[in-house]
Amino acid sequence: GAVVSQHPSWVICKSGTSVKIECRSLDFQATTMFWYRQFPKQSLMLMATSNEGSKATYEQGVEKDKFLINHASLTLSTLTVTSAHPEDSSFYICSARDWEWRDTIYFGEGSWLTVV
Amino acid sequence: QKEVEQNSGPLSVPEGAIASLNCTYSDRGSQSFFWYRQYSGKSPELIMSIYSNGDKEDGRFTAQLNKASQYVSLLIRDSQPSDSATYLCAVNQGGGADGLTFGKGTHLIIQP
């Protein structure tokens, strides 16, 4: 099946720094990708929808200047957490839509971010 | 507002029995329905998709869809301890740029 790769799997950064997470669709073109955040024992929370070649659409309450999303190609979207703080520590997951296969959405492996 | 409802559980099922997971959705325009399995600390993994009324079987898994009643279910036959996970129901209205609307998930525990 389709594969979505996310990197890095784990990242620890100092408070105030920025960290970038990459999401790649490996065997299909993804014009639309999605970024989620999940805190322990809680459900997935959609942060933003990333559209290739255009600005991301952010969900209510998500700071677009803090969570920068770039979707410059049909196979790559990036999420940059800027000026990270400990409360940003979470599990970040991307997903990508395969338009050619009934709009099926596949998830990346997720990235654990710890801000110290 | 589109909503997907699931019983959060935990749902405890003895090993070898059938686990039945249910999901209801509010948007009658929904066209695609998915079940994802999520182990603790891992990202969701697609296990079943269904698009038309009726049953769809894949190995030990059977997805059932009833659009008139707006529910979708997942049956797991011969449950194994490795099936213990949170199962997420997801609904896609189709078209446009909308992503999936997820339920909060049902925590399934298979007791050895």
pLDDT for B83? 98
- The answer to whether residue B97 scores a pLDDT higher than 70 is no
Task: Indicate the residue of B51, B97, B104 with minimum beta-carbon distance to A51.
Answer: B97
Pick the residue from chain B with its C-alpha nearest to A33.
B99
A92: phi then psi, degrees, rounded to nearest 5: -105, 130
- The answer to whether residue A109 scores a pLDDT higher than 60 is yes
Chain segment A26-49, per-residue pLDDT in tens = 988 888 999 999 998 888 888 999
Q: Cα separation of A1 and A18, whole Å?
A: 33
Buried b (16+ CB within 10 A) or exposed e, B60-91: ebbbbbeeeebbbbbbbeebeeebbbbbbbbb
Chain B hits for A52, CB-CB cut-off 8 Å, are none
Mean per-residue pLDDT, B21-47: 93
% residues pLDDT > 70 (chain B) = 94
Q: What's the half-sphere exposure (Cβ side, CA atoms, 13 Å) at A84?
A: 21
